[in-house]
Structures are given as structure tokens and as C-alpha cells.
Amino acid sequence: MKLYFYSIGKAHDSYIKPGVEDFTARINKYFPAEWQVIAPPKNAAVLSEGDLKKQEAKLVLNLLQPDDQLILLDERGKQFSSPELAQVIQQKANDSTKRLIFLIGGAFGVDASIQQRANTTWSLSKLVFPHMLVRLILAEQVYRACTILRNEKYHHM
Ligand SMILES: C[S@@+](CC[C@H](N)C(=O)[O-])C[C@H]1O[C@@H](n2cnc3c(N)ncnc32)[C@H](O)[C@@H]1O
């Protein structure tokens, strides 16, 4: 199974980049993993919030394959403990998932078409975080989950 981290927005900010790269390199020892930052459409500034989300959704849906498992990050989703997240990932691997996609939405979140396509909607907290910060938390939590699956001494209950 390969992990993909899709994020709508601009390239990693300098204060985020080294951390995201470090945790992604660590994740790669368990699962191949890569980031894809999806730039919003060029005319984003003149679009309504709804139209922007629709256009961003088209870009995301074009990248998806029918068998992809999509985990959407959204503050309204389901919360997991770190061991529960590890089990979610393990279950996807057990189900012979080839591509597990984690998606971070844009400034206004995501269009309903993405919410409907998502196999799982995961909330990190009821708080809303900036998408840059979510990139770092996501990478760390997935790394943490990998270490839990291998019984390694990173996560302490
Ligand atoms: C600035 S937030 C957008 C918030 C917007 N109010 C919405 O309706 O989704 C950008 C992205 O960060 C992610 N995000 C922010 N806070 C989150 C949280 N607590 N749990 C999961 N994802 C979160 C989501 O993917 C969201 O689409």
C-alpha cells in the first residue's frame, strides 16, 4: 500500500517544510509515501467560495483512481485515538488497498462531491487549524501510527 498526502493550497511554508519532510522520510520506512500539493485554480481570487471549492474538487477527483481509499481531513469528521488511527491504516492495508489518500482541503474546506467520495472523514479536533499546520500534524500522526503498528517505542500511552 502506498500513502499519498494531498493538500490543496500553496507549497509548504518554510516553518513547516523541514518537519513535514522529516516525518515523511520516517513514514517511508513503513510505507512508500509522497505529498502532492494541489495548487488552487489561477482565477481563485475572482471565484465565489462555492465555485472555488467546485473547481478544486475537479482537480482532486481527476487525480483519484476508482479503487483509491480517500481519508478526508475535516474538523466535522470522526475523531480517533492514535492506536485507533493505526488500526484504520492497518485495516486499509488488510483490505488490499493499493493507494491510501489523505486529503487536506483548501481555505474554505472542500466541495460536497469530495465529502461524498471520501471513505472516511477524520477530525483531528473540533478546533479549525490552518492547512499548513494540518500537514505537519498529519505527517506526525501517520508516523506515530506506523510505530504503533510495529510496537516501537515512540508512542507512550
Ligand atoms: C482552514 S481549514 C478549512 C476550514 C473550513 N472552515 C472548512 O469548512 O473546512 C483547511 C483544511 O484544513 C483541514 N483541517 C483544519 N482543521 C482540521 C481539524 N480540526 N481536523 C481535521 N482537518 C482539519 C481540513 O482538511 C480543512 O479543509
Query: 94 CA distance to ligand 1 centroid (A)?
Result: 28
Give binding residues for S-adenosyl-L-methionine as ranges: 73, 105, 124-129
Q: Give the C-alpha separation, 110 to 134, whole Å.
A: 15
Query: 62 CA distance to ligand 1 centroid (A)?
Result: 21
Res 157 pLDDT > 80:
no
Q: Give the C-alpha separation, 149 to 147, whole Å.
A: 5
Cell of 91: 485495516
Q: Give the C-alpha separation, 39 to 106, whole Å.
A: 9
State mean pLDDT over 1-11: 97
Query: What pLDDT, in 10s, does the model give residues 117-130?
Result: 999 999 999 999 99
Least confident window among 40-44, 78-82, 131-135: 40-44
Superfamily for 2-149?
Answer: SPOUT methyltransferase, trefoil knot domain (3.40.1280.10)
pLDDT of 153 = 87
- The minimum-distance atom of ligand 1 relative to the CA of 72 is 25
| Binding pocket residue ranges, ligand 1, CB within 6 Å | 73-75, 104-105, 107-110, 123-125, 127-131, 134
- The minimum-distance atom of ligand 1 relative to the CA of 130 is 1
Query: 79 CA distance to ligand 1 centroid (A)?
Result: 13
Q: Which of the four pLDDT bands, split at 50, 70 and 90, describes residue 98?
A: very high
Cell of 30: 513503513
Query: What pLDDT, in 10s, does the model give residues 81-91?
Result: 999 999 999 99
Whole-model pTM? 0.97
Q: Which of the four pLDDT bands, split at 50, 70 and 90, describes residue 155?
A: confident
pLDDT of 136 = 98
